[in-house]
């Protein structure tokens, strides 16, 4: 049996209380200097672009795991890194694909899964394409944009950094790519999700799909038609046959797809508003409970922003430039 290797990049927002600020760089600097050998290459920061800059410069931040053969080991590493991020961050850690108050397609956060070690790259790509519209529902959680209900995932439908599949698999901004920098298959479509059980199930599904001795009709045109429909409507009729195929590989309750995280997010938002959702997501990320908590007042301090820029962004610049060059 092939020995698959998995790695995961998790992007989240740090809001104070409802928007990210450049203080996020200060929290990253604290994390970096806690363990420079590890976090120099296992953290990143993102910024908004173009017209979205009028709403603020800071976007999400990223932590990434090591590379693992065993899914429990990867999840243990992610759990540790989440705990260490929470330990240096007094703001709200919000694992959501898109913030709720505006429509900002460049201000998004995602969860990227890297896989290597499969015996047949062509089969791996096709099989993932076949199941991906269904698998994405395990994590979709950005149903609100511009303070209006959008669907299951504004990010999946509208974000600049992902998109419909192309013939050129190395083009960076699509839902599934062949990574130029790492040589992996990189699934970029997933929203970040606080629930580690859903991440475990997602990884187990990917593992089963890549190890099965079967070929599935992973058609790019079919995928591109389904992605927008599922992003807006969720578990549509066309996905039921894909679900039945998946259950032959890994028995899973249909409710995991029928009721994605976006449903709970939307219900809480309708009852209690944006800040309650962000506090519940923060609570879920830190403590495993999607339950709102009281939010304390936050102060944005310029000295902390400057300290973050000098202590994190400047030291990371050589690595970031090298990374961007290798990805393009």
Task: Report the chain (328 residues): mean pLDDT per 10 consecutive residues.
Answer: 88 97 98 97 96 95 98 98 98 98 97 94 96 98 97 97 95 95 94 98 98 95 97 97 98 97 98 98 98 92 97 94 75
Helices (H), the chain: 23-34, 36-39, 71-88, 121-135, 154-158, 196-211, 220-233, 238-249, 255-258, 261-272, 274-287, 302-308, 314-327
pLDDT of residue 298: 87
pLDDT of residue 119: 84
A 10 A CB-CB count for 281 gives 27
pLDDT of residue 81: 98
pLDDT of residue 1: 52
Please, are residues 125 and 200 in contact by the beta-carbon 8 Å criterion? no
Residue 62's H or E segment, with its range, is strand 58-64
**Is-cis flag, bond preceding 54, omega within 30?**
no
The SS3 call for residue 269 is helix
pLDDT of residue 188: 98
Please, are residues 100 and 277 in contact by the beta-carbon 8 Å criterion? yes
CA dihedral 188→194→197→200, nearest 10 degrees, is 30
Distance of alpha carbon 213 from its chain centroid, rounded?
29
pLDDT of residue 3: 87
pTM: 0.96
The SS3 call for residue 45 is strand
pLDDT of residue 322: 82
pLDDT of residue 150: 97
pLDDT of residue 212: 95
Q: Which two tokens stand for residue 168?
A: 């050129």
pLDDT of residue 327: 72
Please, are residues 49 and 106 in contact by the beta-carbon 8 Å criterion? yes
pLDDT of residue 272: 98
In DSSP notation, 124-162 reads HHHHHHHHHHHHGGGT--B-EETTEE--SBHHHHH-TT-
The SS3 call for residue 20 is strand
In DSSP notation, 192-205 reads P-S-HHHHHHHHHH
The SS3 call for residue 321 is helix
Q: ∠ CA(208), CA(213), CA(218), 5° rounding?
A: 75
pLDDT of residue 156: 97
Q: What is the CA radius of gyration of the chain?
A: 19
Q: For residue 68, what is the DSSP state?
A: B
Q: How far apart are CA 278 and CA 293, in angstroms?
A: 9
Distance of alpha carbon 16 from its chain centroid, rounded?
20
Q: How crowded is the C-beta side of 101, counted as CA atoms within 13 Å?
A: 13
């Amino acid at each position: 049996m092939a020995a698959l290797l998995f790695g995961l990049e998790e992007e989240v927002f740090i809001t104070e209380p409802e928007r990210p600020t450049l203080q996020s760089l200060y929290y990253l600097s604290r994390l970096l200097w806690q363990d420079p050998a590890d976090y120099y290459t296992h953290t990143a920061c993102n910024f908004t672009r173009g017209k979205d800059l009028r709403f603020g410069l800071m976007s999400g931040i990223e932590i990434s795991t090591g590379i693992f053969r065993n899914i429990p080991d990867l999840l243990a590493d992610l759990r540790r890194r989440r705990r260490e991020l929470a330990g240096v961050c007094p703001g709200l850690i919000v694992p959501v694909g898109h913030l709720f108050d505006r429509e900002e397609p460049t201000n998004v956060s995602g969860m990227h899964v890297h896989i290597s070690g499969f015996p047949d790259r062509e089969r791996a790509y096709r099989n993932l394409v076949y199941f991906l519209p269904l698998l994405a529902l395990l994590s979709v959680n950005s149903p609100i944009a511009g303070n209006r209900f959008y669907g299951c995932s504004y990010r999946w439908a509208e974000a600049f950094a992902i998109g419909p599949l192309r013939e050129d698999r190395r083009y960076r901004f699509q839902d599934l790519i062949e990574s130029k920098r790492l040589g992996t298959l990189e699934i970029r479509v997933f929203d970040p999700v606080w629930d580690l059980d859903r991440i475990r199930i997602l990884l187990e599904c990917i593992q089963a799909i890549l190890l099965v001795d079967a070929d599935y009709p992973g058609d790019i045109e079919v995928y591109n038609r389904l992605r927008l429909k599922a992003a807006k409507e969720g578990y549509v009729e066309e996905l039921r046959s894909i679900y039945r195929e998946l259950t032959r590989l890994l028995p899973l309750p249909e409710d995991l797809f029928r009721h994605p995280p976006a449903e709970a997010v939307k219900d809480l938002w309708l009852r209690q508003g944006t800040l309650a959702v962000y506090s519940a997501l923060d609570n879920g990320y830190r403590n495993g409970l999607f339950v709102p908590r009281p939010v304390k007042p936050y102060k944005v301090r310029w000295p902390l922003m400057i300290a973050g820029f000098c202590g994190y962004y400047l030291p990371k610049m050589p690595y970031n430039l090298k990374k961007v060059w290798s990805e393009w």
